[in-house]
Structure 1
Amino acid sequence: MKSYTVADFLTRGGHRAEEVLFLTPSKEAATRVRTELFERLRQDERYAASGSPVRSVHSWAFAVYRAIRQQQNRPLPRLITGAEHDALIQQMLQGQRIDGNRYWPEEMVPALPMVGFARQLRDVVLRATERGIGPAELCELGEAHGRPMWVGAGRFMEEFAQIQRLSGSENLNASELLHAAVAAVDAPGEGRDFLLRMKQGLRLIVVDDAHNLDPAAAQFVENFFTPGTRTLIAGDPDQCVFHFRGADEAFLSRHAADEEHRVVLSASHRLGPAAVGAVTAMTAGLPAVSTRVPLRAAAPDNPGELELYRAPSVTAQGLYVADVIRRAHVAHHLEWDRIAVIVRGTGQIAPLRRVLLSHGVPVTVDPTSTVLAEQPLVRTLLLAAEASMRELSVAEVDSLLASSIGEADPMTRRRVERAIARALAKQHATGSADLPRREEDGLPFGVAECLAALVNRQASPEQERQWTAAFGPRELGMLESVHRVLDAGRQAYAQGRSVEMVLWEIWEKTKLSASLQTQALRGGTAGSQADQDLDAVMSLFDMAGDFVERNPSASLGTFLSTVRAQELPTGGRDRRGVRPGAVEILPAHAAAGREWDLVCVVGVQEDSWPAGPTVGGLFGQQELVDLIDRGISPDTYVSRHVAALHEERRLFLLALSRARQRTVVTAVDSPTGEGYEPSRFVAELAQTAAVMVTGKPSGEGKDEHPAESALPRVLALEPVLAEMRHAVRNPHLPYPDRQVAAQNLAQMGANEVYGALPHQWLGALPPSTADLILDRHGELRLSPSGLEALANCPFQVFMNQHQGVGESTPQMRIGIAVHAVAEAIIAGLGEDDAVAAIHAVLPDLVEAPSEAALEEAADRWEAAVRELHRWITKTKDELEHADPPGRLLSEHWLTGEVGQTEEGTLVRISGRADLIAIAGNGEATVYDFKTGNHTLTKDQAAESPQLASYQFALALQGHQPAGAALVYPAVPVKSGPSLRRQNASTAEEREAFAQWLLDLAPAVSGPVFRATPGKHCERCDLTSICPAQPEGKAVV
């Protein structure tokens, strides 16, 4: 309606665009109105204009103020974003924390560097500035009313202004800009002359969404009102949802009070009868306003729908929204960009985005809802730029390799680590002197540190050759890609090039531009992500260009710190001539003034919508606003719950009235399950006759309607395929249903839909091989330490052996260290030296939460090593002084042939014994060191397969087994470490044990590995994929 009025005024009246001033509260609204106006004007081929009359209030204020300053030959102003303002405040507070407190209350000093303190300070500064309160006035108010935080904020404002003046440029935030512009046009001389010339040239002024103007913006706009100039002020007080930003509907209400000049537009050309009825019913909960008029649908036959869905879970809610959007696009041919998902807060965007993308829905996110430095591609580029100045840490290298530059998936990363680990082991074995060592403790590099050295170009040519010798083409390509990007940045930085050029060299070498452009133009889910990545990169270069223009001599490090310090979302420059073909997810406030064909209002829950009232915080912002605007003393208690509820209701009404055709409102109703309760607004909406209510809350109707509790079916390719494949293989379904499903799958397979044909189904084909898993000699090898686990569950053993390199636990690392110390003790290491050795390495082995815990662990293991040393020394002395004397063998390899399986495969027992005591008469006893805190019982030790296998292997090597024992140095008794012994085995027992090994051998050779439930399942990490467990039965 408003754009039509302006277009009609320009074309029929023959007026120029310069004679029209169309003001909107935000630049996003200005862009939308400008596009709509252009579409209307392009239909008239006779009309031409040199510019657009549509501008935001702040854009117009900046243009006016800049022009006046230019005429005065004074420095030109610069408008800073909210993120920049927030970052500057944080930097100043950090400096005050370091330099010493000057004006804050002492109890507040520890909070100065905190982000929350800076945010609240910025808020109170903006609220004061919007109302024309300067530093001195704020200090006076604080002193008069006993508010030391107001005094501190006033002195901070004064210091902030002084710093800005010293910088040589006038940096203004949005509130300061409006007051500066008002002061400039009111000043005698150039300001008033400029205002007079502007007013004389205007024929039409349109103020859109006037209810969202703050007092300063309203004062600035009113300066251009003049008799003889047609003025149109449009707005709706019930849609004022920006009170938290200082918006005040008083400007609109004051002008609307004049009934002679008030035009009432009660007919909604957007909403249908259902939505109008719901909005009217819910508007009754707002305070009475004299200017409010009953809403009616302009077209009573508008088929607009309003639906309320109560989901039993958060997952069901996401799937239902995905299905609604998919069906609207597929069945009703609704374009993606004519659909929107509105949520209460930005925290709900990410999970919904993941659900929609996973079901083939392209998604775009409102740029003012994301922080630039948190965008994945921007974060990667910033990290690459950081590498131009310094070496990256191990964690940073890991992040860079996994990014779009390195593209290292987990398998590639694992192959890289294994290759480097083998190279390091070879260097250790050959005693190479070329091993790099850490500066802090002199210990050799680990695998991760070697990889970081490769990326940082720290490795010598010989080291790089050795470490990458086993790299395949994929691993070498990953390293070359990272080197290409980082080397470009390092070279540009070394040449002293600007921030923009360093970033450009890095971006160009990533070679991502063409691929992202292609994906973005192709559309779909990948296209929406590529479009978002490109927008983020453009915003980064915009920021770099502005930074270099303002600070020509600033360093790259300063720029990177500036970007990362901006923790508030900021929208970038929108250069796109068309909207992205994607569904937009946006918070409710960002939906103001916009409309779509289909709108899903998601997650309308109690405690989040309506949200609780905003309190004054540390600075008492609300009390300050009440004092300035209404004269209410800060000491007077004012209940804000009712006002906050009204604000939330207006926000909900705003979201409810954005759709031209269909509105879907969803809420999770699971108070006893997930603890979610629908909002009170949902209960009101459900009572509206025109609202269609669907869905069942969690716990209701399960017996009568079991399908209501199931997850919604999504009209997407993957769910449809899964359902039909399940139907084909379900013998309980009627044969006609199975036949129809098979026909549909065949038709989809003929159209090359992957996953439709049986040979593409995982788990539906026979095994790819039935060969046994043998070693390179064609033999089966059994390990003594793994026999018990193999007997318990072959599946667990197989998965643990082939799941790749696992993370070592503190207990595993301590075990390795204790075994190494024990071997050294047997070789002659003294007791004090053994204790010193374990003491030196223990801090790197355990994960102690405190120094006290580390000292406790050190005391425990030092005592354990002393007990172990005494026991080994005693055992050694007894053997050496016996007649005839005996000897000790350390880390001795025991191996021997057990026999052959029924298939003729040779089975061999093979393992390393920690300690073997061989007496002079040939009797041998095997000892195995255990570093755990829990011992086996005597009966368990007597039946231990591990100890029995050691005795069996001793006999195969010609020794006479005299028994075996488990040694627990961490569980001491009076006589030394705890021992759990197994008696010497007889020939008959060894023969029976050999047969048991032959019967067990097929369990390790496969190709079938049986999952056997038992007590061992309580400590198993594989339950999620185990076919014997409920969690793993659904996994193919």
Structure 2
Amino acid sequence: MKTSDAPAPHRLPEALSAPGHGPHVVIGGPGTGKTTLAGELVMSRLRGGAPAESILVLVPSRTAAERLRDELALRSGVTFSEPVVRTYSAYAFDLIRRAREAGLLPLVTRPPRLLSGPEQDALIGELLRGHAQDGGGPAWPAELGEAVGTRGFRREVREFLDRAAEHGVDAHEVQRLAAACNVPEWDAAAAFVHEYAQVSALASAEAFEPAELVALALRLLTEHPSLAAAEDERLGLLIVDDLQEATPSQHRLVHRLARGRDAVLLASPDTVVQGFRGARPDLVRQAPEAIGTDGPAPVLELTAQHRLPAPIAATARRLALRLPSPWGEVGRRWDAQPDVVPSCQPEGDTRPDAGETPAGVDVRLVAAPVHARRLVSRHVLEAHLSHGVPYDDIAVIVRSGSQVQETARALGLDGISTEVPPVETALRDESAVAPLLSMLERAAGAPGPRERGRLAALADAAAVESMLMGPYGRATSLDVRSLRQLLLAHERAAGGERSSTDLIAALLDGDPAGREGERADELASLGPVALPAYRLVLMLDAARAHLASDHTAATAVWAVWEAAGASDRWRKQALEERGLRSDRAHRDLDAVLALFQAAERFGDQFPGAGVARFIEHVRSQDLPMDSLARTGAAGGRVRVLTPAAAAGLEFDTVIIAGLQEGQWPTTGLRGQLLRSDDLVTVLEHGPDALRGASVGEKLRAVRDDELRQFLTAITRATRAVHLVAVQDEESTPSSFLELVRAPHAPEPVVSAVPRPRTLSTLTALLRRTVEEVPSEELAADAAGVLALLSLADPAVRGADPASWWGLAPLSSTDPVVPDGGQVRVSPSKVDAVLSSPLNWFVSAANGLPPADLARSLGTLVHGIAERLPAAGEEELMASLERHWHELELPENWEGNREHERAARMMTRLAQYYALVAEKDRVAVGLEQGFSVPLAPREEGGHPVKLTGSIDRVEVGEDGRPVIIDLKTGRSLPTKAEAERHPQLGTYQAAIRAGALAEFAQGEPRLTQPTEPAGAALVAIGKETVKVSILEQASVTAEDDWATGLVHDAAALMARPDFAALHEGTNFRCSLPGVCPICAEGRQVTEP
């Protein structure tokens, strides 16, 4: 065993300084310079004249390959014809490609390609669904039950297939092991492996899974001496970085390639992040014997620490000593950086120097998850503002991808821009991608109106509304509501009867004659309300126009994307803004780039396939696409990462959040449904090893893997590590925190978290100072800072006093209607104005919530009564059935209850019709509109215009009109209240003023149109056996109380202020939040 410092530039360990050094294994802890050594080895060979093609560097991930590849290209100035740095899969893929070109794979007739994880998952899902539908397939054990077919089960199957492929095990061998070990899950899995192999070979023999690629490459080298000899001659130097992340098959490939040649295998067995993908750090111990020719290969140990200061190094060593190691102390003996690290602040900056801050590990417990999110933001801002650390030198590390998104959103709310790794979201579900796919799908269909059932209309309307409120339509829910109202108004004006749901559902149907632009022009004429729909129709027209010509999936995606016009807007948001909008724009652009890449790859794999097949291909994939497209990145962003994404990186400050027991470490065993880990154990050690394994040992292995990830996270920091956990009744801090705590150090306690040092927090503090602090000097200083913030570009929200609630003067103190101006009065509003002017005014200004179900049902019933003014019960019921869908009620107990209530209304309406016939009255006017002026009550008063519509105008033998108002609500006035009912009285006042005079000219039965014969409320909504009728006597010239009510209401409507009135013990205020009488109501300036 030899020890060495990690190399500075142009300096190599003596044992590796010259060609011909043979195979070596290099062990070093985090920060000891392993990747730097790999780069120096490559540069040394290139400077010595070795061709780049003779050097191969294998790394565990594509991101690691890109980083090292870019560094080598920058340092060497060489243009590489072939990549020097590859992942294991990329190297295996290249070897298979060359083997096919050499004729060694006769069954692979097309160029090989990599089968992506989503494609493999889709194929597994298709097979499982086929088994469920046909009743065939493997005989899965009964205890698996309904788990078969779920996404989690597909993941277990995929893992089993990968483990089998890694070890070169086919279905027959799995079946033999199932019998030998008495594992029924393997017997069923063997049948699935057999079927899967047959189907995948028939569908695409050229497609290889990543695990299968490596196994096949190793088999080719073993079975074809000519290929192996050519490869041995080509490779002059093999370097493997992070060997601890390799799977068993990758270890075997490395052993085959490294044996007997110049090879350097670098590993840090205590920092592993690919355990969930089968990484085996324990196999690093086999490398010296496997690659050596005359005995084990030499092992070098790197001991000089180039990243970690002493406190972090000490913490990392304590964690590492808790892990099993076949090397003993090897890889854990490193020196440490000093406690103080160089400052990273700009020259001339007078903020506290980062170099003055002691390095170390800080543990904080908080009382709630919201406090944990606040503390993470505070740590970020403290590092940036107090210690001069650039945002892109700060990382927040969490355990899972879902926590990455939650943490990034929380930081964005505090104005901190973030950069995150590709999200764990299927491409089809990305908010920027789903509408593009929907547009292409609609464009591929026939344009024009479609017949829709009720459920189809609801589903289509929901889909269109989702696109309207998506990133391309950019509408709000209020915008969609206004659009519904606008479309409905135009439909009714044209004599149509479709509901707003039907109109929204048909919004993107297109012109039946295929004329592009017709629908867009129609929407453009409707004004700003229709702008979101106009944007979508432009995209749809562009897609249809493109699909009518020669196209591919990639060109079709580009056509609809270009028509969306979002690229410049999103790019500006991504690069020039900060916080959530910037992060959202970055993610959306990355998703669209991934869709382009997927479309191009689809075109290469399936030449001639249409857009419909591409859409089906993308939508069949439940897993995120591993896109090769470069994602957008910008400086000045905090990185939010999982341990796997953080591997190989380093930052000044690292914040590790979500440290809860059960989350990190997680306590779940992996691959238990199909016992894939047990399969590996049997393959490596025989059936006896399976019988000796205990659950406790498996749990320890999982915990060790979690600890390796935690150790990786901590060792990303060059100065400071902050650990954050929640301790409350539901959450327990991670047991890893006990391992972090130094001997004799006090236990951490739950502490309060001050608000983060954001501009919004500063603004709130300054405003509180201005308003509450008695010191005039301090208040003036605070006001001055607020003024500066309000003048910033962009201005800080809330800093400008003009935006403060309660401080702006009244916009106007003038009356709503100027002196002498006409007041419009509706009979249905008179009672509301007189009861509470404030409630009426807010309602008139559209300040009340949308109509509830009861009002919608009333509208439906009134419509039926208008269409059928004298029908029998059977005909009324039939009309109810025809129009019931317009309420869009669910088909459940609530919907059934309302339907039964509506049916009872039809029964009572039929009863009333029969009574009308008995009295020899006939309805001559239905929903009869009117508009009639009333002279001012006194000189200089307001003239009044009465406007509205009467449900039914009936006339008897005397030729006088009777006013009927149908009530569908459950509550009614008393008989005495009906005698002075404001709405009925206003109707009668309007008739006396001539509301029916013009109508009577065409209705010969109405001989006395200005002499009402009375009015009545017909309560078809009140739950009685027989219909209830409350009558009001006729209003006469001698007792015209109704006209006085109208003038009273008009006077209140015209005032500059509106009183809040609560009358009666059963009064229920509809505006308790703004009503000054209610206990809930308060001014915006009140605490």
Query: Same fold, TM exceeding 0.5?
Result: yes
Q: Supply the AA of the counterpart residue of 1:91.
A: E
Contact 2:547 2:556 (8 Å CA) reproduced? yes
Cα 1:959/1:168, change in 2 over 3 Å: closer
Change (3 A) 1:7 1:363: closer
Secondary structure of 2:812's match? coil
Q: Deviations over 1:317-370 (max 9, x none)?
A: 334333433443445443332222222222223333333334332222202534
Contact between 2:755 and 2:761, CA under 8 Å: does it hold in 1? Answer: no
Contact in 2 for aligned 1:670/1:677 (Cα 8 Å): yes
Higher alpha-carbon deviation: 592-601 or 934-943: 934-943
**Paired residue for 2:113?**
78
The letter of the residue matching 2:129 is Q
Summarize the alignment of residues 543-558 of structure 1 with structure 2, pairs less than 5 Å apart.
Answer: 543-558=598-613
Q: Secondary structure at the match of 2:640?
A: strand
What is the DSSP-based 3-state SS (H/G/I as helix, E as strand, rest coil) of the residue aligned with 1:152? helix
Query: Does residue 1:193 correspond to 2:229, yes or no?
Result: yes
Map 1:274-673 onto structure 2 (within 5 A): 274-283=311-320, 285-286=322-323, 291-292=328-329, 293=332, 297-302=336-341, 303-367=358-422, 369-390=424-445, 393-409=460-476, 413=480, 416-428=483-495, 444=498, 446=500, 449=503, 452-453=506-507, 456-458=510-512, 468=522, 471=525, 474=528, 481-522=535-576, 524-525=578-579, 528-573=583-628, 575=630, 581-614=636-669, 616-630=671-685, 631=687, 632-633=689-690, 638-639=695-696, 640-671=698-729
Residues 951 and 964, structure 1, Cα contact 8 Å, conserved in 2: no
Note the 1:34-49 alignment, pairs <5 A. Answer: 34-38=69-73, 41=76
Q: Which amino acid aligns with 1:498?
A: T
Which residue matches 1:91? 126
> Which residue of structure 2 aligns with residue 103 of structure 1?
138
The superposition leaves residues 916-966 of structure 1 with CA deviations (integer Å, 9 ceiling, x where unpaired) of 677878999765433345666778878865566667767777657867546
2:267 to 215, 225, 234: 234
Matched, 1:873 2:914: yes
Q: 1:64 aligns with which of 82, 92, 95?
A: 95
Q: CA RMSD in A?
A: 4.5
Which of 200, 212, 236 is residue 202 of structure 1 equivalent to? 236
SS of the residue 2:695 aligns to: coil
Give percent identity, aligned residues only.
25
Per the alignment, do residues 72 and 291 of structure 1 end up closer, same or farther by CA in structure 2, a change over 3 Å counting?
farther
Aligned to 1:837: 879
Give 3-state SS (helix, strand or coil) of 2:626's partner.
coil
Query: How many Å separate the matches in 1 of 2:520 and 2:568?
Result: 35
1:779 is the counterpart of 2:822 = yes
Unpaired runs of 5+ residues, structure 1, are 429-434, 436-442, 697-707, 881-885
2:310 is aligned to 273
2:669 and 2:631 mapped to 1: Cα distance?
37
Distance, in Å, in 2 between the alignment partners of 1:678 and 1:118 is 32
| Residue 471 of structure 1: how far off its partner (Å) | 2.9
Q: Say if 2:543 and 2:559, in contact at 8 Å, map to a contact too.
A: yes
Match of 2:765 among 718, 723, 728: 723
2-side partners of 1:370 and 1:185: how far apart? 38
1:862 to 870, 895, 903: 903
Q: How far did residue 739 of structure 1 move? A: 1.2
Structure 2: how far apart are the matches of 1:5 and 1:333?
A: 30
The one-letter code matched in structure 2 to 1:840 is R
Counterpart in 2 of 1:440? none
The change in CA–CA distance for 1:1017 and 1:496 in structure 2 (over 3 A counts) is farther
Q: 1:934 to 1:901 in 2, by over 3 A?
A: same
2:216 to 177, 180, 184: 180
- 1:243 maps to which residue? 275
Task: Judge conservation of contact 1:520–1:530 (CA < 8 Å) in 2.
Answer: yes
Instruction: State the shift of 1:300 in Å.
Output: 3.7
* Offset of residue 912 of structure 1: 4.0
Amino acid at match of 1:298: Q
Task: Give the letter for the 1:490 counterpart.
Answer: R
Superposed CA deviations along residues 978-1033 of structure 1, whole A, max 9, x for unmatched, are 45678999999975x87777666566456555677899998858859999676986
Q: Which residue of 1 aligns with 2:786?
A: 745
Structural mapping, 1:967-978, within 5 Å:
967-969=1019-1021, 971-973=1023-1025, 976-978=1026-1028
The answer to whether the Cα contact below 8 Å between 1:372 and 1:378 also exists between their aligned partners in 2 is yes
1:610-659 per-position Cα deviation (integer Å, ceiling 9, x unaligned): 32313545423344344444534479762444443333333333222222
CA contact (8 A) 1:306 1:692 kept: no
Gap change, CA 1:984 and 1:256, over 3 Å in 2: farther
Paired letter, 1:27: R
* 8 Å contact from structure 1 (residues 341, 583) kept in 2: yes
CA contact (8 A) 2:575 2:582 kept: yes
Q: How many residues align?
A: 988
Measure the CA separation in 2 of the matches of 1:146 and 1:980: 83
For residue 12 of structure 2, what is the aligned residue in structure 1?
A: none
Following superposition, the deviation at residue 742 of structure 1 comes to 0.9
The Cα shift of 1:208 comes to: 1.9
Residue of structure 1 in register with 2:29 after alignment = none
SS of corresponding position for 1:377: coil
- Return 955-964 or 138-147, whichever deviates more: 955-964
- Give 1:194 shift: 3.1
Work out whether residues 394 and 654 of structure 2, in 8 Å CA contact, stay in contact via their aligned partners in 1: yes
Q: Residues of 1 paired with 2:874 and 2:229: CA distance?
A: 93
Q: Which amino acid aligns with 1:423?
A: H
Structure 1 distance, partners of 2:783, 2:718, is 40
Deviates more, 1:735-744 or 1:863-872: 863-872
User: Which SS does the other structure have where 2:365 is aligned?
Assistant: strand
Name which of 54, 58, 68 aligns with 1:33. 68
Deviations 1:429-453 (A, max 9, x none): xxxxxx5xxxxxxx64647526834
Match of 1:704 in 2: none
CA distance in 2, matches of 1:645, 1:987: 93
Correspondence list, 1:991-1030, <5 A = 1004-1005=1053-1054, 1008=1057, 1020=1070, 1023=1073
After TM superposition, list the pairs within 5 Å mapping 1:216-231 onto structure 2. Answer: 216-227=249-260, 229-231=262-264
Cα distance in 2 for residues equivalent to 1:256 and 1:1026: 84
Cα deviation, residue 595, structure 1: 1.7
Structure 1 pair 26–691 and aligned structure 2 pair: CA distance change class (3 A): farther
1:842-893 CA distance string (max 9 Å, x none): 344362434x77666555433432233123322441365xxxxx98875456
Q: Does the CA contact (< 8 Å) of 2:396 and 2:638 recur in 1? A: yes
Q: How do 1:879-918 and structure 2 match up within 5 A?
A: 891=927, 897=934, 904-906=941-943, 911-915=948-952
Deviations 1:229-259 (A, max 9, x none): 24333212x3234332211122123348999
Could you say if the C-alpha distance between residues 561 and 1013 of structure 1 is closer, same or farther in structure 2, counting changes exceeding 3 Å? farther
Aligned partner letter, 1:233:
L
Alpha-carbon distance in structure 2 between the residues aligned to 1:657 and 1:1024: 56
Q: Relative to 1, partners in 2 of residues 1:240 and 1:519: Cα closer, same or farther, differing over 3 Å?
A: same
Kept in 2, the 8 Å contact 1:279–1:656? The answer is yes
Q: Does 1:4 align with 2:36?
A: yes
Q: Could you tell which deviates more after superposition, 631-640 or 763-772?
A: 631-640
Deviations 1:385-430 (A, max 9, x none): 22330269444443444444444455655554444333222211xx
Secondary structure in 1 aligned to 2:412?
A: helix
Counterpart of 1:297, as a letter, is A
Is contact 1:311–1:695 with CA below 8 Å preserved after alignment? yes
Name the counterpart of 1:116.
Answer: 152
Shift of 1:501: 2.0
Residue pair 2:397, 2:655 contacting (<8 A) in 1 also: yes
